[in-house]
Amino acid sequence: MSAQLRRKIGIARTQLARAINLCEEDLKDDLLGFPQTSANDDFLDYAELQDTHHESFSTKLIVRKLEDLNNEWIALMAKDSNEVTTFHEFFSRYGDYHDDIEKAIKALQRMDSSEALIQGE
């Protein structure tokens, strides 16, 4: 019953991994030292990049999609107890996609913090 959900979750996880990588590429590990070590133009380019937040928006949409799929599967498990076994088998085979959601949330929080530091808020 959950085969289609599992496929959608797999696709969403792949999309989320790509989105997280894009978010993390936009972040500098040493943001506080960035203004002192960069030329003014570099800093302005970085601030402009942060303002676009395309990656952030995309990541939020994928997280929402993955959460919705999770809720669908929970509802399916409530109706069919065999789905609980399928759910656990999925986790042991492919890992816990909740970890992917947490990683995305942390990346989004870092992006928000970076933007606040850049804008002096």
At 110, which helix (H) or strand (E)?
A: helix 97-119
What confidence score (pLDDT) does residue 120 get? 58
Show the tokens assigned to 56: 């952030």
Q: How far is CA 56 from CA 14, 19, 29, 48, in A?
A: 16, 8, 17, 14
Q: Could you list the pLDDT tens digit for every one of the 121 residues in the chain?
A: 899 999 999 999 999 999 888 877 766 544 555 555 555 566 665 665 554 466 778 889 999 999 999 999 999 999 999 999 999 999 999 999 999 999 999 888 887 776 666 555 4
Q: 16: how many CB neighbours lie within 10 A of its CB?
A: 23
Q: How far is CA 45 from CA 42, 48, 49, 70, 96, in A?
A: 5, 5, 6, 38, 37
Cα–chain center distance at 49: 18
Contacts of 94 (CB under 8 A, 6+ apart): 10, 13
Q: What's the rounded Cα separation, in Å, for the pair 104 and 102?
A: 5
Q: What's the rounded Cα separation, in Å, for the pair 21 and 5?
A: 24
